[in-house]
Amino acid sequence: MSYAIETSGLHYRAGKAFELGDLNLRVPTGSIYGFLGPNGSGKTTTIRLCLGLLRAARGTVHVLGHTIPGDTPRMFARVGYVPERPHLYPTLTVRETLAFHGAFHPRWDRAAAAELLRSFALEPETRINRLSKGESGKLLMLMALAQRPDLLVLDEPTDGLDPVVRRDVLMAVIDFVSESGATVFVSSHLIHELERICDWVGVMDRGRLVADVPMHSFKNGIKRLRIRNAPAQVGDAPFVLLARERGDGASGTEVWVVRGWQPTMYQYFEGIGAVLQDVVDLDLEEGFVELLRTARTPRGA
């Protein structure tokens, strides 16, 4: 498998409050990779390190085969980037902004920019400082897509936008990917939004990558189990036990949340003298919350 983004042993410290520790991240080429995590988990820091906007203390970064930061200019010629905090010149018009931005990108597609301008209902002569937040979000996405990039990096691209604008922006991304086969690396804390479009997911928490799996494995492999006569020690289980809660004393049941579940694992409970009563599917948000809760639980707790 080839990777559009690949980091190895990436380490970065921001003062005493935050540390990104030995991050090994691999974004498969051609995927729509959802980069999940709570605010402050390290998503934006990781993106900036990958794009050469921050310097790591140690470790390596490769983006589209380019070594970062050494090949950053050549990398940026092939990457469309929508930052978390946009930087647009407030006195320019939409038309002037597009002309200025396009001049720096040899792949700039004027026809695609004009089509997106109409699709997003943006007025060319409106000054940037007169745009609403939703209009600014659509303009930033237009600028990234009109570059015809091999990799689209989106840092919270729909944060604060209303549902209609979010839908328009995401549909534009999906249309672009279907036409070009480009890779998309999208950071967000809007879990249900990414569930609809992503085929791969990575979860960050407190500077660590706590999950990195195909979306279907993440969704289908995390289950809530109801178990009777559960032993005190789990032992060598074929799944990862994320959480364990004891039920009321009368029923003698426990509720387990597990990752990596497969239907063939029913026989494990027979071997330990327990009875598996029920297997409940979790949606992406429930699985995400359980994963973070487990990642934050001290070992031995």
pLDDT (tens digit per residue) in 257-275: 888 888 889 889 988 889 9
- Clarify whether residues 171 and 277 are in a common domain: no
Q: Give the span between the Cα atoms of 195 and 198, in whole angstroms.
A: 6
pLDDT at residue 15, as a whole number = 81
d(CA 76, CA 151): 9
Our count of domains for the chain comes to 2
Fill in the amino acid letter for 282: L
Q: How many Cβ atoms are within 10 Å of 159's Cβ, its own excluded? A: 15
Residue 221 is predicted with a pLDDT of 81
Residue with tokens 């990862």: 240
Residues 196 and 246 in one domain: no
pLDDT digits (tens, 9 = 90+) for 138-152: 999 999 999 999 999
CA-to-CA dists, residue 254 to 235, 242, 249, 281, 295, angstroms: 16, 13, 10, 16, 21
pLDDT value of position 54: 95
* Same domain, yes or no: 187 and 251: no
Q: Does residue 136 sit within a domain?
A: yes
Dump strand ranges (E) for 124-221: 151-155, 183-188, 200-205, 208-214
In a shared domain, residues 24 and 84: yes
Model pLDDT, residue 57: 93
Is residue 300 assigned to a domain? no
Residue 58 maps to which CATH number?
Answer: 3.40.50.300
Whether 192 and 250 map to the same domain: the answer is no
Chain CA centroid to CA 267, Å = 35
Contact indicator for 193, 215 with CB cutoff of 8 Å: no
Say what the pLDDT of residue 78 is.
96
Please say which residue of 206, 239, 268 terminates a domain.
Answer: 206
Contact call for residues 33 and 185 (beta carbons, < 8 A) = yes
With both helix axes pointing from N to C terminus, report the angle between 110-119 and 133-145 in degrees, rounded to the nearest 10. 160
Residue 165, domain extent: 3-206
**Residue 59 near residue 23, CB atoms below 8 Å:** yes
| Residue of 203, 204, 291 lying closest to 19 (CA atoms) | 204
Residue 107 domain flag: yes
193 and 264 part of one domain: no
Q: Are strands 32-36 and 26-28 parallel, antiparallel or unpaired?
A: unpaired
The domain spanning residue 230 has which CATH number? 3.30.70
| Residues 196 and 224 placed together within one structural domain of the fold | no
pLDDT at 217: 84
Per-residue pLDDT, 298? 55
* Residue numbers in the chain where pLDDT is lower than 70: 247-251, 297-301
User: 117 and 248: one domain?
Assistant: no
Neighbours of 205 (CB within 10 A): 21
